[in-house]
């Protein structure tokens, strides 16, 4: 349909693409920083109670850092500038109140700290932050003759820096990914025309997916910058993958004599059908992330699903129209590689093949010549496939050993939250945080203790005494609102992203408070480290559920697709090996190249990388097994089917994996460690999956299993859809 009406389809997509491109700049401005609070967590509940019971403390307690190179806190000018800044901040509409903190032992006398209570949700606090910072800096500099600086440190300030870094990293990654992907396509397709068509499709998918997010954001759907990075990266990668698969099938159909409309129809009904199922697999795999109660992770599910749906839609409608319209351009700019002279054995093989073709059915012979034109000439991949079939057990053991060795370091994987100090050192937040850490006032916690109305304040004496003895604590002080809420404000010495700080938040709620407060007292701890603690616990606790959902869904999906019991089990085990090996290598990277990926893996990366890799690995599994199944259901010969499938899919899988690896590896240019970690994990997993697994381990195992690959109980065989052979396809 799209091929027959290609002009109308091209016009519709052109309008859609132009509209999306016009909306993307507004999306970049409206996108918020990633939300890291866990819905329904004690830290979030505590923040709400704090905002209601102590409006002066707000839903977030930011830190004002006053620093001077020459003035001390007892200088008149310093004091005057300090009061001017406090008054200016207090006048901001979102600010509940400002409280100066008493100096701690060892604090530099050129610096002073004040706690600022900011009300509202994350978007409101993000909007208030630049106004608050500007008001404080303007007042302090005016009163001190620019001798007193003010910095703002807090959750919102950190996330604002994350937003800025995410957008910069996204632009940088795309600038790297596009030319390198084009080079990989030129090498893989050998023609500039075909490479440009595939790259244009990927760009269309990326821009259109971002346009879909722009529409959603205008309708009130929360979008953040990490979501934009994932949509752009996954959209580009899937667009490249699916366009490449269909283009190769189109060229094969053209080479055996079909006209351009017929070739587009054949490519869409075969490779397009596979791409559609692959997109569905990617989208449904991502849906498993919805069980995690963190907005940042849930938006990732929406981001990946959006990219997959747009990639499938563009591949099944736009690409056939483009192929028909640009048919004569696909062969332009052909690259001619120097070919080695054939050996005597190769010449004899070609002569024998020519004799066989002379006696074969005409259309089979033409199809074979087309494959030679678009494949390896019947030598490279065919020779590898036959060699693999002669030594399946040796290759099975060798490949498994490589994957297990790569996965071994995963036992030392350290999860946590890393502030990426290298990326924030020159920012207002980074400078303020450096002063705080130098004075051992790195962060703060609020222990929220609700009590009945008109009841006396909660007795916190024992808790405060214990906290003051803890070496991680700089100070602890209680306050009560005179109605229904007592709060203990705790200032922490250890760094905000130090595991010891996060452990303190957990220890207060689970050890100190139950033992030192009145029996039955409800305890809610909020603040940056409590938020980090809840985030780590939620992501770790739900990782098992996400894995179970993804594995169960993958088994069911592949069972229906392949009509086999063993093939889905094998596919799932292989995917698990690829993911585990990738994280084993990522663990090594955190030890040996921490400047690139950080010292520990961000607690959210296993969730994101696992679902992404599993969805993409299913793509390559389907590319390979569909071709093998087509031949097997026609011939009934398992070994011949494996050779046929490997020979016909090795090149598409290799080229598709190369451009996908390029897309994700470009994230290694990011300054944010979590983006670099995601890029390294996914790129490594795809590399292992497309080489060690798909081109060696899977075919070798299928040779070992023989006809058992296709075993299916009679009850399931009668209920599942009948297989499609090559004739149908």
pLDDT confidence of residue 492: 92
pLDDT confidence of residue 312: 93
3-class DSSP string for 357-419 = HHHCCHHHHHHHHHHHHHCCCCCHHHHHHHHHHHCHHHHHHHHHHHHHHHHHHHHHCCEECCC
What is the mean predicted confidence (pLDDT) over 407-423? 84
Residue 556 CB neighbour total at 10 angstroms: 12
Contacts of 291 (CB under 8 A, 6+ apart): 542, 545, 546, 549
Measuring CA to CA, how many Å separate 588 from each of 15, 547, 581, 693?
A: 47, 23, 11, 21
pLDDT confidence of residue 360: 44
What is the mean predicted confidence (pLDDT) over 267-294? 88
pLDDT confidence of residue 352: 56
What is the bridge-based pairing of β-strands 415-416 and 601-602? Answer: parallel
How do residues 658-702 score in pLDDT, each as one tens digit? Answer: 888 988 888 888 888 888 999 999 999 999 998 899 889 999 998
pLDDT confidence of residue 339: 55
Q: How far apart are CA 565 and CA 711, in angstroms?
A: 6
Block residue for tokens 């070496």? 471
Instruction: Determine the angle formed by the axes of helices 673-688 and 638-665, rounding to 10 degrees.
Output: 160
What is the mean predicted confidence (pLDDT) over 24-37? 84
What is the mean predicted confidence (pLDDT) over 209-235? 88
What are 116's strand-pairing partners?
62, 98
CB 62 within 8 A of CB 157: yes
Longest CA–CA separation in the chain, Å: 103
DSSP per-residue letters across 99-111: EEPPPPTT--TTE
What are 438's strand-pairing partners?
none
Q: How far apart are CA 445 and CA 526, in angstroms?
A: 6
253: pLDDT strictly greater than 70:
yes
Report the Cα–Cα distance between both ends of the chain, in Å, rounded: 17
In order of their start, the domains of the chain are 1-30+165-335+356-373 (1.20.1640.10), 42-153 (3.30.70.1130), 426-528 (3.30.70)
pLDDT confidence of residue 469: 93
3-class DSSP string for 26-91 = HHHHHCECCCCCECCCHHHHHHHHHHHHCCCCCCEEEEEEEECCCCCCCCHHHHHHHHHHHHHHHC
Sign of CA dihedral 495, 500, 503, 505: negative
**3-state class (DSSP) for residue 449:** strand
CB 260 within 8 A of CB 331: no
Query: Which is more confident, 159 or 479?
Result: 479
Q: How far apart are CA 528 and CA 46, in angstroms?
A: 12
When pLDDT is cut at 50, 70 and 90, the band that residue 343 belongs to is: low
Phi, psi of 62 (to 5 degrees): -85, 160
Query: Which is more confident, 340 or 607?
Result: 607
pLDDT confidence of residue 167: 80
Measuring CA to CA, how many Å separate 557 from each of 210, 623, 631, 638?
A: 28, 15, 21, 22
715: pLDDT strictly greater than 90:
no
Phi, psi of 637 (to 5 degrees): -100, 110
How do residues 501-549 score in pLDDT, each as one tens digit? Answer: 889 999 999 999 999 999 989 999 998 889 888 888 898 889 889 999 9
361: pLDDT strictly greater than 60:
no
Contacts of 705 (CB under 8 A, 6+ apart): 566, 570
How do residues 287-322 score in pLDDT, each as one tens digit? Answer: 999 999 888 888 888 899 999 999 999 999 999 999
pLDDT confidence of residue 1: 59
| CB under 8 A, 24+ apart: contacts of 492-497 | 492/441, 492/442, 492/443, 492/444, 492/445, 492/529, 493/440, 493/441, 493/442, 494/442, 495/437, 495/442, 495/443, 496/419, 496/433, 496/442, 496/443, 496/528, 496/529, 497/416, 497/417, 497/418, 497/419, 497/532
| Rg for the chain, CA atoms, rounded | 30
Q: How far apart are CA 289 and CA 545, in angstroms?
A: 9
Block residue for tokens 């070919």? 339
Residue 191 CB neighbour total at 10 angstroms: 18
CB 270 within 8 A of CB 531: no
Measuring CA to CA, how many Å separate 594 from each of 422, 489, 591?
A: 11, 34, 6
pLDDT confidence of residue 366: 40
376: pLDDT strictly greater than 60:
no
379: pLDDT strictly greater than 80:
no
471: pLDDT strictly greater than 90:
yes
Report the candidate in 586, 605, 596 with the shortest Cα–Cα distance to residue 687.
Answer: 586
What is the mean predicted confidence (pLDDT) over 191-210? 92
How do residues 57-79 score in pLDDT, each as one tens digit? Answer: 888 889 999 999 999 989 999 99
When pLDDT is cut at 50, 70 and 90, the band that residue 341 belongs to is: low
Q: pTM score, two decimals?
A: 0.80
Contacts of 409 (CB under 8 A, 6+ apart): 584, 585, 587, 588
User: How much of the chain exceeds pLDDT 70, in percent?
Assistant: 92
Query: If residue 153 lies in a helix (H) or strand (E), which one and from where to where?
Result: strand 149-153
When pLDDT is cut at 50, 70 and 90, the band that residue 728 belongs to is: very low
When pLDDT is cut at 50, 70 and 90, the band that residue 337 belongs to is: low
pLDDT confidence of residue 358: 44
Q: How far apart are CA 266 and CA 251, in angstroms?
A: 10
Query: Which is more confident, 346 or 124?
Result: 124
Report the candidate in 56, 639, 11 with the shortest Cα–Cα distance to residue 325.
Answer: 11
pLDDT confidence of residue 309: 93
374: pLDDT strictly greater than 80:
no
When pLDDT is cut at 50, 70 and 90, the band that residue 91 belongs to is: very high
Measuring CA to CA, how many Å separate 483 from each of 70, 356, 476?
A: 44, 94, 21
How do residues 205-215 score in pLDDT, each as one tens digit? Answer: 999 999 999 99
**3-state class (DSSP) for residue 294:** strand
pLDDT confidence of residue 159: 84
What is the mean predicted confidence (pLDDT) over 221-238? 86
Counting every residue written for the chain, the total comes to 729
Q: How far apart are CA 411 and CA 415, in angstroms?
A: 11
pLDDT confidence of residue 557: 84
CB 670 within 8 A of CB 676: yes
């Amino acid at each position: 349909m799209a091929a027959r009406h290609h002009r109308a389809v091209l016009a519709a997509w052109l309008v859609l693409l132009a509209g999306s491109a016009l909306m993307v700049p507004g999306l970049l401005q409206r996108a918020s920083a990633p939300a890291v609070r866990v819905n329904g967590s004690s830290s979030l509940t505590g923040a709400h109670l704090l905002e209601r019971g102590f409006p002066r403390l707000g839903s977030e307690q930011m830190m004002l850092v006053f620093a001077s190179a020459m003035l001390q806190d007892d200088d008149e000018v310093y004091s005057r500038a300090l009061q001017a800044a406090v008054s200016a901040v207090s006048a901001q509409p979102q600010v509940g109140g400002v409280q100066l903190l008493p100096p701690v032992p060892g604090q530099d006398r050129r610096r002073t700290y004040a706690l600022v209570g900011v009300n509202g949700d994350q978007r409101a606090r993000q909007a208030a932050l630049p106004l608050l910072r500007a008001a404080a800096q303007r007042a302090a500099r005016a009163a001190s003759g620019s001798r007193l600086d003010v910095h703002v440190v807090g959750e919102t300030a950190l996330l604002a820096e994350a937003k800025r870094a995410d957008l910069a990293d996204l632009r940088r990654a795309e600038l790297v990914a596009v030319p390198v992907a084009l080079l990989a396509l030129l090498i893989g397709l050998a023609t500039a025309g075909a490479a440009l068509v595939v790259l244009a499709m990927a760009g269309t998918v990326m821009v259109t997916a971002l346009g879909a997010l722009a529409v959603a954001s205008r309708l009130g759907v929360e979008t953040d910058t990490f979501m934009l990075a994932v949509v752009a990266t996954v959209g580009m990668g899937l667009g490249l993958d699916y366009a490449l698969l269909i283009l190769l099938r189109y060229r094969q159909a053209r080479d055996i004599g079909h006209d351009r409309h017929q070739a587009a129809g054949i490519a869409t009904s075969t490779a397009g059908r596979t791409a559609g199922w692959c997109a569905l697999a990617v989208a449904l795999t991502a849906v498993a992330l919805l069980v995690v109660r963190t907005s940042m992770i849930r938006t990732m599910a929406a981001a990946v699903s959006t990219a997959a749906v747009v990639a499938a839609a563009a591949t099944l409608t736009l690409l056939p129209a483009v192929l028909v319209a640009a048919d004569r351009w696909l062969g332009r700019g052909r690259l001619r590689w120097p070919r080695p002279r054939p050996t005597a054995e190769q010449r004899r093989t070609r002569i024998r093949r020519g004799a066989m073709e002379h006696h074969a059915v005409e259309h089979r012979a033409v199809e074979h010549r087309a494959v030679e034109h678009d494949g390896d000439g019947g030598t490279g991949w065919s020779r590898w496939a036959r060699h693999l079939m002669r030594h399946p057990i040796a290759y099975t053991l060798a490949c498994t050993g490589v994957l297990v060795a790569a996965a071994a370091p995963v036992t030392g994987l350290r999860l946590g939250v890393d502030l990426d100090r290298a990326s924030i050192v020159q920012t207002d937040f980074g400078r303020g945080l450096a002063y705080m850490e130098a004075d051992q006032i790195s962060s703060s916690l609020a222990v929220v203790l609700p009590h009945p109305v008109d009841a006396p304040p909660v007795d916190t004496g024992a808790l405060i005494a214990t906290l003051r003895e803890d070496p991680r604590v700089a100070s602890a002080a209680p306050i009560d609102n005179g109605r229904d809420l007592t709060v203990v404000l705790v200032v922490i010495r250890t760094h905000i992203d130090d595991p010891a700080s996060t452990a303190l938040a957990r220890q207060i709620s689970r050890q100190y408070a139950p033992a030192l407060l009145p029996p039955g007292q409800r305890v809610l701890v909020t603040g940056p480290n409590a938020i980090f603690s809840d985030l780590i616990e939620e992501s770790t606790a739900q990782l098992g559920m996400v894995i179970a959902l993804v594995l169960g869904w993958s088994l069911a999906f592949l069972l229906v697709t392949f009509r086999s019991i063993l093939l889905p089990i094998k596919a799932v085990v292989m995917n698990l090996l690829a993911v585990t090996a990738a994280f084993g290598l990522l663990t090594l990277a955190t030890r040996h190249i921490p400047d690139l990926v950080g010292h520990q893996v961000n607690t959210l990366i296993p969730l994101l990388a696992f679902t992404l890799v599993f969805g993409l690995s299913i793509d390559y599994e389907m590319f390979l097994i569909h071709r093998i199944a087509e031949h097997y259901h026609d011939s009934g010969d398992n070994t011949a089917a494996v050779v046929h499938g490997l020979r016909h899919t090795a090149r598409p899988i290799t080229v598709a994996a190369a451009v996908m690896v390029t897309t994700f590896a470009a994230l290694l240019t990011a300054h944010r460690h979590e983006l670099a970690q995601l890029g390294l994990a996914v790129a490594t997993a795809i590399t292992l999956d497309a080489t060690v697994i798909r081109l060696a381990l899977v075919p070798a195992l299928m040779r070992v299993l023989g006809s058992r690959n296709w075993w299916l109980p009679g009850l399931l065989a009668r209920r599942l859809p009948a297989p499609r052979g090559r004739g149908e396809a």
